[in-house]
């Protein structure tokens, strides 16, 4: 438990890390969290993983910001190896809130007046509450005057959402992961739940023990393979070939659900024709899976009474990420595997509030509830709600904004809780862009790598210090409650956003997040019958919810899809190679992601004592054969080089890795994986290809 003293009070809240959204209780003494325990929430049933249980002390880290900071004259913007985040006064001077806010907002207002609305952009964060996301996108749209607002959904499931919106008219999951307990077959592809959604993984294991057949489809092995009925470790980047071969089997063997297709879908005849030549034999060479194995798995899924598909960023983070998700949706539609208990499509959302932040409109091409900015009628509803005209042009996305800075278009930014100097692909490019900004305001808990480029840093609130709602991967809107006081002069994020908004001349006067949530319920049909007061009583309500006293819908689209015709649509795809093919100079696949103990860019977990002691240094995971080929022993340094950069870090032997591939977590600033990654984008979701870059491994920097 970490501390044997007795707590003097407890506060119920939600875990601030992954999209599972575990409910927890903070046990507090003298305003400090002693330990954390799990609650009986709908997504965790008292369970917590190591992050939720032990990752609670980061708000009290020695480098926590408690005073506004302003860059000292003459200090260049950028990463200085001598900079100590625990003593930022070498590079920044402390300032009053009044001075910092005047400078922060004044710089942005001045750039807008000089260059117009398109000179500004904002990154919000999935680490923030729904209310903060709502206010942030509202500030950009009504204050900055453009739609140049985005957040890390662009780097995780933007392609999944693009495919889901296109095919079924909704970007959220069709069923919670608890439905896996009722499924006969569960496909897990491009995800590693034991690492990234650990409590969800415990329910998958439970399902397997009860008889659910798990099918793990991924180039890398993982802990859940031990529970799997079948494991397909296909060639990296060949997802579309494999899934189309499965569709070919379902079509050619007549395994599809004709009644479901006739009643609920459109476009199946075109799909049938499209997949006719993509037989398992034809695709086997591309995906590396024997044709008969593809047939077996296709039959298992299609013949199941109830089957679900879960996916993660191994599907979405490709230049063909949208095509990958389109294939998975086609599989479910062809086999009638949605709309009933134990069936469904579930992109496992990564960050704790990436679902809620996206729903709240922290996306450049859509207003809250995914209403396209270009639709005059839908836009008019928000113009009326906010009493101001809105821009009809879709804004720029995360990577496009970096390119627009480099091109001189975007000159000022407001970044809340995001860390693009670590999370963007091709970091040298992203960091050069940040350094070029004429005015950068960063609102965060620490002087992150991104904050080291800022003109003004505003000290924000950590999750245990605030009231707010978040929405997890299951569409469960949950209430977090302030448990501990803010340090020093740090302020609630909603208050800071409002201060900036007021300096843009906006007449905002919110006094508590509950007032923001009330406004959200007026603009977002998805939040119908969910109120702050109800959440105070019930802690969690799933949307969509049909009545004030009814539970929300765990499974949706039983009768119709939210598309103009009420039908779901098949969207055929063809295999495309990764953007950066392997060659003699760069013969190995680099893939990136998270570790169990660390989360996103590590700004919180690397400041959590237990978590950082468990995983203290950057590591590259390699198959035993790769290490042997390099002549390295585990723990020795390996050099990884791509066309964009080079990093050196400790080699870790991992028997679950395939030969010809290396995995690097992206949370270590000292060996930043994203110095290496490929910024090529999926054309629909605009998501970079984090899961596939051509690299070279060596034991020496000069090899």
- Cis peptide upstream of residue 544 (ω within 30 degrees of 0): yes
Query: By CB under 6 A, is residue 41 in contact with ligand SF4?
Result: no
Nearer to ligand SF4, 18 or 289 (CB): 18
User: With respect to ligand SF4, which residue has the nearer C-beta, 21 or 280?
Assistant: 21
Q: Which stretch binds ligand SF4 (CB under 6 A): 47-55, 243-251, 340-348, 543-551?
A: 47-55
Least distance from ligand SF4 to the Cβ atom of residue 49, Å = 3
Indicate the SS3 state at residue 702.
Answer: coil
Least separation in angstroms between residue 344's CB and ligand SF4 is: 20
Whether the Cβ atoms of residue 424 and residue 123 lie closer than 8 Å to each other: no
Residue 314 makes CB contacts below 8 A (sequence gap 6+) with: 189, 190, 191, 192, 218, 219, 220, 691
Minimal distance, residue 41 CB to ligand SF4, in Å: 9
Q: Residue 674 in contact with residue 423, Cβ under 8 Å?
A: yes
Stretch that binds ligand SF4, among 49-57, 86-94, 274-282, 677-685 (CB under 6 A): 49-57
CB-nearer residue toward ligand SF4: 204 or 256: 204
Q: What secondary structure does DSSP assign to 334-357, as a single string?
A: HTT-SSSTT-EEEE---BTTHHHH
For strands 456-459 and 69-71, give the pairing.
antiparallel
Using a 10 angstrom Cβ sphere, with 0-12 exposed, 13-18 middle and 19 or more buried, the burial of residue 562 is middle
Output the smallest distance, CB 598 to ligand SF4, in A. Answer: 11
How far apart, in Å, are the Cα atoms of 103 and each of 85, 366, 452, 630? 22, 30, 17, 53
The 10 Å CB-count burial string (b at 16+, else e) for 246-261 is bbbbbbeeebbbeebb
Minimum CB distance to ligand SF4, residue 52 (Å): 2
Q: Which stretch in 56-64, 196-204, 368-376, 436-444 sits in contact with ligand SF4 by CB under 6 A?
A: 196-204
Residue in 168, 199, 215, 331 binding ligand SF4, rule: CB under 6 A: 199
- Taking CB under 6 A as the binding criterion, the range among 10-18, 244-252, 275-283, 441-449 that sits at the site for ligand SF4 is 10-18
Q: Which residue is nearest to ligand SF4 (CB)?
A: 52
Rounded alpha-carbon distances, angstroms, from residue 186 to 71, 170, 304, 305, 348: 52, 21, 10, 11, 13
With binding defined as CB under 6 A, does residue 56 bind ligand SF4? no
Among 27, 39, 51, 569, binds ligand SF4 (CB under 6 A): 51
Does 21 help bind ligand SF4 (rule: CB under 6 A)? yes
Q: Choose between 203 and 234: whose C-beta lies nearer to ligand SF4.
A: 203
Task: Answer whether 112's CB lies under 8 Å from 146's CB.
Answer: no
Measure the CA–CA gap between 190 and 178, rounded to whole angstroms.
Answer: 19
Among the listed ranges 15-23, 247-255, 362-370, 457-465, the one in contact with ligand SF4 (CB under 6 A) is: 15-23
The CB-of-197 to ligand SF4 minimum distance in angstroms stands at 6
Q: Which stretch binds ligand SF4 (CB under 6 A): 19-27, 138-146, 236-244, 574-582?
A: 19-27
Between CA 639 and CA 632 the distance in angstroms is: 11
Interface residue with ligand SF4 among 124, 143, 169, 198 (CB under 6 A) is 198
18 touches ligand SF4 (CB under 6 A): yes
The least distance separating ligand SF4 from the CB of residue 599, rounded to whole angstroms, comes to 7
Which one of the spans 48-56, 126-134, 222-230, 509-517 is the region binding ligand SF4 (CB under 6 A)?
48-56
Q: How many CA atoms lie within 13 A of 477 on its CB side?
A: 32
Which of 143, 198 has the CB closer to ligand SF4? 198
Q: Would you count residue 608 as binding ligand SF4 (CB under 6 A)? A: no
Q: How far is the CB of 352 from ligand SF4 (least distance, A)?
A: 6
d(C-alpha 210, C-alpha 201), whole Å: 14
User: What is the Cα–Cα distance from 458 to 441, expressed in whole angstroms?
Assistant: 8
Q: Select 15 or 366, whichever has its Cβ closest to ligand SF4.
A: 15
- Closest distance between ligand SF4 and the C-beta of residue 535, in Å? 18
Binding-residue total with ligand SF4 (CB under 6 A): 14
∠ CA(573), CA(578), CA(582), 5° rounding? 150
Cβ neighbourhood burial of 546 (10 Å; 0-12, 13-18, 19+): exposed
CB contact at 8 A, 87 and 508: no
Contact pick of 28, 33, 48, 152 for ligand SF4 (by CB under 6 A) = 48
Tell the smallest beta-carbon distance from residue 538 to ligand SF4 (Å).
19
Between vectors from CA 357 to CA 351 and to CA 358, what angle results, nearest 5°? 100
φ, ψ for residue 592, nearest 5 deg: -125, 165
Least distance from ligand SF4 to the Cβ atom of residue 168, Å: 26
Q: Which of 17, 92, 123, 301 binds ligand SF4 (CB under 6 A)?
A: 17
Closer by beta carbon to ligand SF4, 172 or else 662: 172
Query: Does residue 49 touch ligand SF4 according to CB under 6 A?
Result: yes
In terms of CB distance, is 49 or 155 closer to ligand SF4?
49
Q: 3-class DSSP state for residue 80?
A: coil
| CA angle (231, 235, 239) in 5-degree steps | 80
| Candidate residues 15, 164, 402, 649; the one interacting with ligand SF4 per rule CB under 6 A | 15
H or E, element range at 427: helix 427-436
Task: Decide if residue 52 touches ligand SF4 (CB under 6 A).
Answer: yes
Residue with smaller CB distance to ligand SF4, 22 or 152: 22
Residue 309 sits in the site that holds ligand SF4 (CB under 6 A): no
- By beta-carbon proximity to ligand SF4, the closer residue of 101 and 596 is 596
In the complex, what is the shortest distance from the CB of residue 477 to ligand SF4, in angstroms, rounded to a whole number? 15
Q: Which stretch binds ligand SF4 (CB under 6 A): 41-49, 160-168, 342-350, 631-639?
A: 41-49
If the CB atoms of residues 20 and 649 are measured against ligand SF4, the closer one turns out to be: 20
Provide the mask over 369-388, with x wherever binding to ligand SF4 is found by CB under 6 A and - wherever it is not.
Answer: --------------------
Site for ligand SF4 in 64-123 (CB under 6 A): none
Smallest gap from Cβ 19 to ligand SF4, in A, equals 7
Please state, in angstroms and rounded to a whole number, the distance separating the CA atoms of residues 162 and 38. Answer: 34
- Backbone angles phi and psi of 32, in degrees to 5: -120, 140
| Of the candidates 70, 101, 155, the residue with the CA atom closest to the CA atom of residue 456 | 70
Gyration radius (Cα) of the chain, Å:
24
Q: Which stretch binds ligand SF4 (CB under 6 A): 14-22, 152-160, 335-343, 456-464?
A: 14-22
Question: Would you give the distance in Å from CA 444 to the centre of its chain?
Answer: 18
- Polymer length in residues for the chain: 703
Q: Which residues sit at the interface with ligand SF4, rule CB under 6 A?
A: 15, 17-18, 20-22, 44, 48-49, 51-52, 197-199
């Amino acid at each position: 438990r970490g501390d044997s003293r007795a707590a003097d009070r407890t506060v119920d809240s939600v875990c601030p890390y992954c999209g599972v959204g575990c409910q927890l209780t903070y046990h507090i003494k003298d305003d400090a969290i002693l330990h954390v325990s799990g609650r009986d929430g709908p997504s965790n049933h008292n369970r917590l993983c190591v992050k939720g249980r032990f990752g609670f002390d980061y708000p009290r880290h020695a480098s926590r910001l408690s005073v506004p900071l302003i860059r000292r004259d003459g200090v260049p913007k950028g990463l200085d190896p001598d900079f100590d985040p625990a003593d930022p006064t070498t590079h920044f001077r402390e300032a009053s809130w009044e001075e910092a806010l005047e400078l922060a907002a004044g710089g942005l207002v001045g750039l807008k007046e000089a260059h117009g609305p398109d000179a500004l952009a904002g990154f919000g964060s999935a680490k923030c509450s729904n209310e903060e996301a709502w206010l942030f996108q509202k500030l950009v749209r009504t204050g900055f005057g453009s739609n140049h607002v985005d957040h890390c959904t662009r780097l995780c499931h933007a392609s999944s959402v693009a495919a889901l919106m296109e095919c079924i008219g909704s970007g959220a999951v069709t069923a919670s992961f608890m439905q896996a307990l009722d499924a006969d077959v569960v496909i897990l592809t491009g995800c590693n739940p034991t690492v990234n959604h650990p409590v969800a993984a415990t329910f998958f294991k439970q399902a397997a023990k009860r008889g659910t057949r798990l099918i793990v489809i991924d180039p890398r092995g993982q802990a859940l393979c031990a529970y799997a009925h079948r494991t397909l470790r296909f060639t990296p980047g060949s997802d579309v070939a494999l899934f189309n071969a499965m569709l070919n089997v379902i079509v050619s063997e007549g395994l599809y659900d004709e009644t479901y297709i006739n009643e609920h879908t459109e476009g199946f005849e075109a799909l049938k024709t499209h997949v006719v030549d993509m037989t398992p034999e034809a695709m086997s060479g591309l995906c590396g899976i024997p044709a008969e194995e593809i047939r077996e798995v296709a039959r298992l899924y299609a013949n199941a009474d109830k089957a679900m598909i879960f996916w993660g960023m191994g599907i979405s983070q490709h230049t063909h990420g949208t095509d990958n998700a389109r294939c998975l949706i086609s599989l479910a539609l062809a086999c009638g595997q949605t709309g009933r208990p134990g069936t469904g499509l579930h992109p496992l959302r990564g960050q704790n509030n990436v679902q809620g932040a996206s729903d709240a409109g922290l996306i450049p091409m859509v207003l809250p509830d995914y209403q396209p900015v270009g639709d005059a009628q839908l836009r008019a509803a928000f113009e009326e709600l906010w009493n101001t005209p809105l821009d009809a042009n879709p804004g720029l996305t995360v990577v496009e904004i970096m390119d627009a800075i480099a091109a001189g278009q975007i000159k000022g930014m407001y970044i809340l809780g995001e860390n693009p100097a670590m999370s963007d692909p091709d970091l040298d490019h992203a960091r050069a862009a940040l350094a070029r900004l004429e005015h950068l305001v960063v609102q965060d808990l620490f002087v992150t790598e991104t904050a080291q480029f800022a003109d003004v840093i505003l000290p924000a609130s950590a999750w245990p210090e605030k009231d707010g709602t978040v929405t997890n991967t299951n569409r469960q809107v949950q209430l977090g409650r302030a448990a501990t006081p803010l340090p020093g002069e740090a302020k609630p994020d909603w208050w800071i956003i409002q201060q900036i908004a007021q300096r843009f001349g906006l007449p905002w006067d919110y006094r508590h997040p509950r007032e923001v949530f009330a406004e959200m319920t007026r603009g977002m049909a998805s939040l119908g019958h969910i109120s702050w007061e109800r959440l105070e009583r019930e802690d969690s309500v799933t949307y969509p919810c049909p009545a004030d006293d009814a539970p929300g819908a765990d499974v949706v689209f039983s009768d119709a899809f939210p598309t103009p015709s009420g039908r779901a649509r098949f969207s055929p795809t063809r295999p495309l190679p990764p953007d950066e093919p392997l060659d003699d100079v760069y013969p190995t696949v680099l893939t990136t992601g998270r570790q169990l103990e660390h989360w996103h860019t590590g700004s919180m977990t690397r400041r959590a004592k237990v978590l950082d002691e468990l995983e203290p240094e950057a590591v590259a995971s390699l198959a035993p054969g790769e290490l042997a080929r390099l002549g390295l022993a585990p723990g020795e340094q390996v050099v990884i080089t791509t066309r964009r950069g080079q990093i050196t870090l400790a080699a870790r032997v991992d028997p679950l890795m395939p030969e010809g591939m290396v995995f690097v977590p992206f949370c270590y600033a000292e060996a930043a994986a994203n110095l290496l990654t490929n910024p090529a984008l999926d054309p629909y979701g605009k998501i970079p290809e984090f899961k596939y870059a051509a690299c070279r491994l060596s034991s020496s920097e000069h090899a």
